[in-house]
Structure 1
Amino acid sequence: MELQPIQEGRTIVLSPTGRIDHTHADAFKLALDPHLADCRKDGAPLVLDFSGVDYISSIGLRALMVAVKQVKAQGGRMVLAALQPLVHEVFTISRFDLLFEIFPDRVSALAAVAA
């Protein structure tokens, strides 16, 4: 999976697409890892725009959990935006909606991390 970073002010926006499941979770994690190092207290916040993600499995959730734990340990901030209904339901059922800041769209996520 390729994550083309987009710079929005000092924030980095990453927009994964497709499925983050058993087949694609490792590629997602590998693509995300380089951006996590800069997501620290004095670094760039990360917005993951999930508008193009139509499915996430437990292994995809695990990759996100490991990422957010790293970011929080570094004093950084990583938020999610624009979850599709099925993906949002998975986050709600698994209680991952309590682990992440989730915004309805990219604009509101960017406004929150810029504040």
Structure 2
Amino acid sequence: MELQPIQEGRTIVLSPAGRIDHTHADAFKLALDPHLADCRKDGPPLVIDFSGITYISSIGLRALMVAIKQVKAQGGRMVLAGLQPLVLEVFTISRFDMLFEIFPDRASALAVLATAVS
């Protein structure tokens, strides 16, 4: 899975697409890892724009849980945006909505992160 980073001000936006399931979770984690290393206290915040994700399985959730633990340990900030209804339902049922800051869309996430930096 490719995650072409886009810089929006000081924030890095990643936009995965498709499914994050047993077939794609390892590729997602590998693509995410280099961006997590930079997401630290004085580094850029990270927005993962999920608007292109149609499905996430438990192994995909696990990859995200490992990622948020790393980011928090480094003092960084990673948020999610644009979750499709089915994906948001998975996050809600699994209570992952309590682990992450979730925004309705990329613009909302960027606006909050921009005001937090100012």
Q: How many equivalent residue pairs?
A: 115
3-state SS, counterpart of residue 4 of structure 1: coil
3-state SS, counterpart of residue 41 of structure 2: coil
Q: Please name the residue that 1:13 is paired with.
A: 13
What's the offset of the Cα at 1:113?
1.3
Percent identity of paired positions between Structure 1 and Structure 2: 89
3-state SS, counterpart of residue 37 of structure 1: helix
Q: Please name the residue that 1:24 is paired with.
A: 24
Write out the 4+ residue segments of structure 1 that deviate beyond 3 Å after TM superposition. Answer: none
Contiguous gaps of at least 5 residues in structure 1: none
| Alpha-carbon distance in structure 1 between the residues aligned to 2:55 and 2:33 | 20
| Alpha-carbon distance in structure 2 between the residues aligned to 1:17 and 1:83 | 11
Letter in 1 for 2:78: M
| Alpha-carbon distance in structure 2 between the residues aligned to 1:96 and 1:112 | 20
TM-score by length of structure 1 reads: 0.99
TM-score by length of structure 2 reads: 0.97
Q: How does 1:1-115 map to 2 (within 5 A)?
A: 1-115=1-115
Q: Provide Cα deviations, 1:31-90, integer angstroms capped at 9, x if missing partner.
A: 000000110010010000000000000000000000000000000000000000000000
Contiguous gaps of at least 5 residues in structure 2: none
| Alpha-carbon distance in structure 1 between the residues aligned to 2:33 and 2:24 | 14
3-state SS, counterpart of residue 12 of structure 2: strand
